[in-house]
Amino acid sequence: MDNFTRRDVMKTSAGFVATLAAASLLPAKLGAAVRAARHGSDVARLRFAVIGINHGHINSQVDATTKGGGEFVSFFAKEPELRAAFAKRYPNVKVAKDEREILEDPTIQLVLTAGIPVERAPLGIRVMQHGKDFMSDKPGITTLDQLADVRRVQAETKRIYSIMYSERFESSATVKAGELVKAGAIGQVIQTVGLGPHRVHPPERPDWFWEPANYGGIICDIASHQFDQFLFFTGSTSGEVVASQVRNVHHPEHPRFEDFGDVMVRGNGGTGYIRVDWFTPAGLPTWGDGRLTVLGTDGYMELRKYVDIGGSTKGGDHLILVDQKGVTRVDCKNVEKPYGRQLVDDVLNRTETAMTQAHCFLAMELAIRAQQMANRVAG
Q: How high is the mean pLDDT of the chain?
A: 90
Contacts (Cβ under 8 Å, ≥6 apart) of 365 = 144, 147
As a CATH number, domain 44-164 is 3.40.50.720
* Domain boundaries defined on the chain: 44-164, 168-338+367-377
Strand pairing partners for 241? 265
Give residue 11's pLDDT band: very low, low, confident or very high (50, 70, 90): very low
Mean of pLDDT values over 52-76: 97
Give kind and range of the element (H or E) at residue 294: strand 291-296
Residue 24 has pLDDT above 80, yes or no: no
3 state DSSP class of 145:
helix
As a CATH number, domain 168-338+367-377 is 3.30.360.10
Percent of the chain topping pLDDT 70: 89
Strand 133-137 relative to strand 70-76: parallel, antiparallel, unpaired?
unpaired
Cα–Cα distance for residue pair 113/340, rounded to 1 Å = 14
Cα–Cα distance for residue pair 99/75, rounded to 1 Å = 8
pLDDT at 36: 40
Q: What share of the chain is helix, strand, coil (3-state, %, to 5)?
A: 40, 25, 35
Each residue's pLDDT tens digit, 166-181:
999 999 999 999 999 9
* Least confident stretch, 98-107, 142-151, 199-208: 199-208
Cα–Cα distance for residue pair 330/353, rounded to 1 Å = 25
Q: Which residues of 114-151 are buried (b: 16+ CB within 10 A; e: fewer)?
A: bbbbbbbbebbbbbbebebbbbbbbbbbbbeebbebbb
Q: Which residues of 152-162 are buried (b: 16+ CB within 10 A; e: fewer)?
A: ebbeebebbbb
Residue 117 has pLDDT above 90, yes or no: yes
Give Cα separations from 267 to 10, 12, 115, 353 (angstroms): 54, 57, 31, 22
Residue 28 has pLDDT above 60, yes or no: no
- Phi/psi of residue 206, nearest 5 degrees: -75, 165
Mean of pLDDT values over 103-131: 98
Q: What is the 3-state secondary structure (H, E, C) of 197-215?
A: ECCCCHHHCCHHHHCHHHC
pLDDT at 42: 59
Give Cα separations from 48 to 123, 143, 288, 325, 341 (angstroms): 15, 27, 31, 47, 13
Give residue 204's pLDDT band: very low, low, confident or very high (50, 70, 90): confident
